[in-house]
Structure 1
């Protein structure tokens, strides 16, 4: 269940308590799009008072920062999902290799008349399968591990390789909407109220500077419903994490290729 967006409370020293309550209700009744239009409208009014375009330019500049942060957050989430798929594929390849080895060893065990298939399964579970579970490589919880081995010994299917594999962060796709939609509309309503307060209370000649303070705003991640604060530090951190995930994907792909080669030899 998605978390409810923080609405905050509009409160400006420019108004009385009653007036603030009235404005807060009006803002809450507005759509996010209308609220952003109000902010830009106020920016235009302030620019006319200043005889400049700096306030509107500051708003547009920050709006673009939010758009690109959203784009990189989307790329980072896709890189994370892709990395999870390759981790799962690696585990499934290891399991496939174990099953192939069980098939060969079990056949040889019976051919050499060392015991029954049930005895082989119990022996195999202690020597190999249990070790794999302890190392966290393969962790299948079953009430009867030996019975599982007997049943799965001939159920060997090579897992399907993930379709995603990125060589660079630029290769990761993102939706067109990430850059087309307003960056401010991805902010929480509380953040936009805060911006309105700054625009009303800030010194007119320094207003463009205050609007450009990045740490004020927050955008919401669509993946895990977490809140991300927009700052140059966090912007770079998201790109760095994304690049690290791409590097791990490439490393996992190479490792999986080696496992695939071992499986082919085991057949």
Structure 2
């Protein structure tokens, strides 16, 4: 079966047909992955590929664009220095009333006009000014990223342009994922709010420890009180002994 040209499916003519549970034999999407590169780091620079016209982009065109951009990024930038993301999904199912083609087909394929057709693929419906693909990276690789995205934009059916913007990095601490058996467990994400909450929770604990220490010191002081009491009792006893000695000395003086 000869594939029809892409311009037959480029224009948006009817409402989207997306209910796959009511149709059988819908071809799967050719898009292998939607996020590539370094997914565990935040980058301050964002480069967006934006279409200028409303159209339908077939899944094969999206995959061709993704492959072209990703290959150049891996070669010129390096896997650990970018985060590449495809921002659309081919929801709309394309239908085609298959007829015989070639010599003498006008006599063979005289069938129903405007037939419902059979599912032949999927496409993403986009609006003017919509972001199709985005690359996050650092400013030093900006020119290489722009060249890669310009090269990939030739695979799309709509004219497009690039938009560069600066992102305020939130300062999240994201560790690399750890392997536990055969499953990949994502590392915990520690934000500034969580760190502040942890510090606030630690302050009452310190206050409780200080209170325990004060109570312990009070007990020790209370234990020392009997000694002081014994000292007070010893002092009057010594004074009484002096008083008893006093008259004896006085008598001796008179004699």
Smaller-chain TM-score bracket: under 0.3
* TM-score, normalised with respect to structure 1: 0.19
Structure ranking higher in helix proportion:
1
Higher gyration radius (CA): 2
More strand by share: 2
